Structure 1
Amino acid sequence: MINYQKFVLDNGLQVLVHEDHGTKIAVLNILYKVGSRNEIKGKTGLAHYFEHLMFGSSKNVPVFDTALEKVGGSCNAFTNTDITNFYITLPAANIETAFWLESDRMLQLNLSEKTIETQRKVVIEEFKQRYLNQPYGDVHHHIRKLAYDTHPYQWPTIGANLEDIINYKREDVEEFYFTHYRPDNAVMVVAGDVTLEQVKHLAEKWFGDIPSGQIPKKTINQELPQASKKTATVQADVPTDALYKVYHMPAKMQDGYLESDLITDIIGFGRSSILEQQLVKNGNIFASIGAYIYGTVDPGLMVFSGKMEKGQTAENAEKALDEVVQAFLESSISNETLTKVKNQAEAMKTYESVQILNRAMSLAYYAHLGDADLYQTEYEKKTQIPADQILDWARNILREENSSVLYYKGT
């Protein structure tokens, strides 16, 4: 359990305070409830683009990083399908600088033509380097487009294509900013050598006058249940074939989500997993294989991905994978296996909680889901799930008509 106290400003900004006086540093973490799920076709990638824009300049801050470095601080951010998260670490004595910097870019970010164009070029170059010019770099573009028909999860966070980024207009950028980067769409966590009263004072001083958002969010189209198997083949200049087989699964807070997480832990996580042992160590088709989930706010995907040995085809690999999955569905899960994956979950949770930054990010994430206490209660719930319940969900999810398969083939 992470101890915290919380309050809400009149403009809707949620603030959580985690006091830890065993350190001399402090973290200010701001999570905005915006990701690629809040975009529309033709204007994709805006959330990720704003991650870059927010490190440009604001009315009173010519260069964000320079102002922070002067007080011994560092910062970074990440964007995914559901959220954008900014964080600052600095000596606790200088915490007010973090409040100033974050409030200034929330209230009055620089959206000049020069800034917009500079960051557009940066994002276009990132798109080319990471997704177009890397072997298998565009895999998740293809997977998402295949698996989703209507939901914005059908494109990755970087955006559906370069054209969308190239064609952003100034009004698109301004509308996205004034819709999503508002205090009532954010969660702020302040952690470290701080006090509740200190944070209350600074939050009111620096954020209290920022107006709430006035632009309503667009409706997000939800995906209908998949009725039949989907397949697609991609030819590319890659060294070997690769297979990606995905299944629709429940959303983060829905029944079946934690079971889905355990399914992939059992079947596809680590060297002792079923897939690794049967398909890599004792097989000749796969060079590597694993399984994981998209842990998304709306219903996501359970992913099986692997690369083939030289000369082996993705189609043959799918047959071998299906045999192992079917055997898993017809088997039972031993107490030893279940204990092992739950111990792994406990070890990961313990490791994550060591750093104060991780604690701050965890509080922000679960607060955005509705309750910061979910960080603990979700873990406790996960450790109590019985083996037969995991298998029931596996049989419900791992159905052929619920699958989408990408055969990524070398030319």
Structure 2
Amino acid sequence: MASAATAKAAPPAAGWQIPIEVKKLPNGLTVAVSEDHTAPTFGMSTAYHIGFRLEPKGRTGFAHLFEHMMFEGTPVSPKGTLTRVIEGGGGVLNGSTRYDYTNYIASAPTSALDAILWLEADRMKQLDFSEKNLKNQQEVVKEEIRVNVKNRPYGLFFWTDLAGKAFDKWENAHDGYGSFEDLDAATLPDVEKFYETYYGPNNAVMALVGDLKPAEVFAKVEKYFGALSSRPVPPPPDVSEGLNTAERKLVQTDLLARVPAIAVGYKMPARGSRDHVPAAVLGDLLLNGEASRLYQGLVKGKELLLQVEGGMNWPLGDAWTFNGPALMVMFALYKPTTTANAVADAIQEEIQKIASAGVPAADLARVKTKMRSDYYSSLELPIYRADAIALAQLLTGSANSVNEVPAKLEAVTAADLRRVATTYLTVANRTVVDRKPAPAPAAAEKK
């Protein structure tokens, strides 16, 4: 049986509360369970504390490559077994890699729980490492890069290139997708070492939400995972960075773009700090939807932009899914009749209005209401609720922190927004990447 006592979520003070029970096995695997008997199904997320920031130097894209390797089967359950079990029962599954974690999510009928837990434990125990499987997934990842980056207008520059310019430490600045050269350089021993280092039970959190009884789930997890051994995990590197002290700029051309684009990034406060949640609210005020300040001011008002989007920790997540240096990102397509400098100045004018005059109470209330609504909506399906709980436990040490978000949003004041705008959204802390359409190639002379 598990050695640690079961920890129950605190009684709800007000509003909707997710019931959560958490238990830690002797081998270090942390399990969180939330009952929801709405339907005879469950959602599940297994999150590992390994992401872009921790992959080996000189091996860009390695964490993402390994995410794919986790679907290549094991010596006793060949490739495709997990997918057939889940999808054959009407469920879904997926995986993703981010700066601070890699997660594997699934949903299925409750009747499939034992089979899925067995399969998940099996791939935590051992994978089918082979040159064939590695080569296959190297090619799959490279094709993903071709589709999402190399052959797409703008090519995710608002993530990879903006971060590369804004951050100083390799862990924060390098391209998490990886270069083809680094992906091809990955060897089977590299893959096996990565797995042994980061994919042990003590480096993972598992959350399950649905038509389940916590005591029964804990017993099943102990049955299937209890014999797995914990593995030594190296101490994480120091990835902290201070705010920038001088503006940084980068100009690029894009062969596939038809109109120019701009990405603006500001280094943000640390997660859990006094300014973390106010910065998230400020991001929504500026960027979330057609009622946002930048849409109303620069798309509708000054008509400099064709579209604008972004936010804190965008586009790879949100304000609740990171645990290291992050940016407030603003991505926009701008009209060819203006310039990136003019757009950056106009954005700064909108920020300065908040820093100088604050935010009317009605505007602040509207933004907080929308953020709470969006947050509850994101938790509606058990698969995504399980993922939120797993990531909360992994990144903050408290699964119950998912229940604390609405109250933290409500506590943000106009003075908080002014302080954050003045401290973080400054020209000195700003990075600007201007992505212009490449000139059309000259037509060949007729003979």
What's the TM-score once normalised by structure 1's chain length? Answer: 0.95
| Structure 2 Cα separation of the partners of residues 290 and 200 of structure 1 | 42
Aligned to 2:116: 98
CA drift of 1:322 comes to 2.3
Identity of aligned residues (%): 29
1:297 and 2:313 matched: no
Aligned to 2:168: 149
CA drift of 1:218 comes to 4.8
SS at match of 2:56: coil
Aligned to 1:206: 224
| Structure 1 Cα separation of the partners of residues 295 and 262 of structure 2 | 15
CA drift of 1:138 comes to 4.1
Query: Would the aligned equivalents of 1:179 and 1:217 in 2 still touch at CA under 8 Å?
Result: no
Query: Would the aligned equivalents of 2:351 and 2:421 in 1 still touch at CA under 8 Å?
Result: no
Query: Would the aligned equivalents of 1:132 and 1:138 in 2 still touch at CA under 8 Å?
Result: no
1:239 and 2:258 matched: yes
| Structure 1 Cα separation of the partners of residues 56 and 167 of structure 2 | 14
1:379 and 2:398 matched: no
Query: Would the aligned equivalents of 1:152 and 1:220 in 2 still touch at CA under 8 Å?
Result: no
1:356 and 2:382 matched: yes
**Alignment partner of 1:410 out of 437, 444, 447:** 437
Aligned to 1:191: 209
| Structure 2 Cα separation of the partners of residues 18 and 284 of structure 1 | 47
CA drift of 1:378 comes to 2.9
| Structure 2 Cα separation of the partners of residues 176 and 91 of structure 1 | 32
| Structure 1 Cα separation of the partners of residues 55 and 365 of structure 2 | 41
1:343 and 2:362 matched: no
| Structure 2 unmatched ranges of 5 or more | 1-16, 314-318, 439-447
Query: Would the aligned equivalents of 1:151 and 1:222 in 2 still touch at CA under 8 Å?
Result: no
| Structure 2 Cα separation of the partners of residues 202 and 371 of structure 1 | 22
Structure 1: which amino acid aligns with 2:275? G
Deviations 1:97-134 (A, max 9, x none): 11011011111111111111111110011111111111
Aligned to 1:276: 295
| Structure 2 Cα separation of the partners of residues 11 and 219 of structure 1 | 24
SS at match of 2:67: helix
Deviations 1:113-167 (A, max 9, x none): 11111111100111111111111014122111100111512134322x2211111
| Structure 2 Cα separation of the partners of residues 146 and 402 of structure 1 | 12
Point out the more displaced range, 145-154 or 178-187: 145-154
Aligned to 2:306: 287
CA drift of 1:67 comes to 3.5
SS at match of 1:373: helix
SS at match of 1:271: coil
SS at match of 1:330: helix
Aligned to 2:104: 86
Aligned to 1:23: 39
CA drift of 1:173 comes to 1.1
SS at match of 1:177: helix
Deviations 1:317-374 (A, max 9, x none): 2222222222332222111001101110121122123211222112111111210111
SS at match of 2:147: helix
Query: Would the aligned equivalents of 1:40 and 1:152 in 2 still touch at CA under 8 Å?
Result: no
**Alignment partner of 1:178 out of 187, 196, 207:** 196
Aligned to 1:223: 241
Aligned to 1:251: 270
Query: Would the aligned equivalents of 1:240 and 1:311 in 2 still touch at CA under 8 Å?
Result: no
Query: Would the aligned equivalents of 1:81 and 1:156 in 2 still touch at CA under 8 Å?
Result: no
| Structure 1 Cα separation of the partners of residues 136 and 376 of structure 2 | 41
SS at match of 2:290: coil
**Alignment partner of 1:398 out of 402, 411, 425:** 425
Point out the more displaced range, 193-202 or 215-224: 215-224
Change (3 A) 1:153 1:235: same
Point out the more displaced range, 24-33 or 322-331: 322-331
SS at match of 1:251: coil
Aligned to 1:267: 286
Change (3 A) 1:290 1:228: same
Query: Would the aligned equivalents of 2:160 and 2:176 in 1 still touch at CA under 8 Å?
Result: no
Please give the root-mean-square deviation of Cα atoms over the aligned residues, in Å.
1.6
CA drift of 1:311 comes to 3.6
Query: Would the aligned equivalents of 1:88 and 1:98 in 2 still touch at CA under 8 Å?
Result: no
| Structure 2 Cα separation of the partners of residues 356 and 303 of structure 1 | 29
* Number of residues of Structure 1 aligned to a counterpart in Structure 2: 410
Change (3 A) 1:276 1:72: closer
Query: Would the aligned equivalents of 1:37 and 1:220 in 2 still touch at CA under 8 Å?
Result: no
Change (3 A) 1:138 1:348: closer
What's the TM-score once normalised by structure 2's chain length? Answer: 0.88
CA drift of 1:220 comes to 3.9
Structure 2: which amino acid aligns with 1:367? Q
Query: Would the aligned equivalents of 1:131 and 1:137 in 2 still touch at CA under 8 Å?
Result: yes
